[in-house]
Amino acid sequence: MIAQHYNSIHVENNLLKQIKIKENQLKIAEEANMLYVAEALQNELLKLQYQLSEGQDVEIQALMSLLDD
pLDDT tens for 11-54 read 889 999 999 999 999 999 999 999 999 999 999 999 999 998 88
User: Is 56 inside a domain boundary?
Assistant: yes
User: Is 10 inside a domain boundary?
Assistant: no
Which pTM value belongs to this model?
0.72
Number of domains making up the chain: 1
CA 50 – CA 53 distance, rounded (Å):
5
CA 43 – CA 4 distance, rounded (Å):
29
Structural domain for 49, as ranges: 18-68
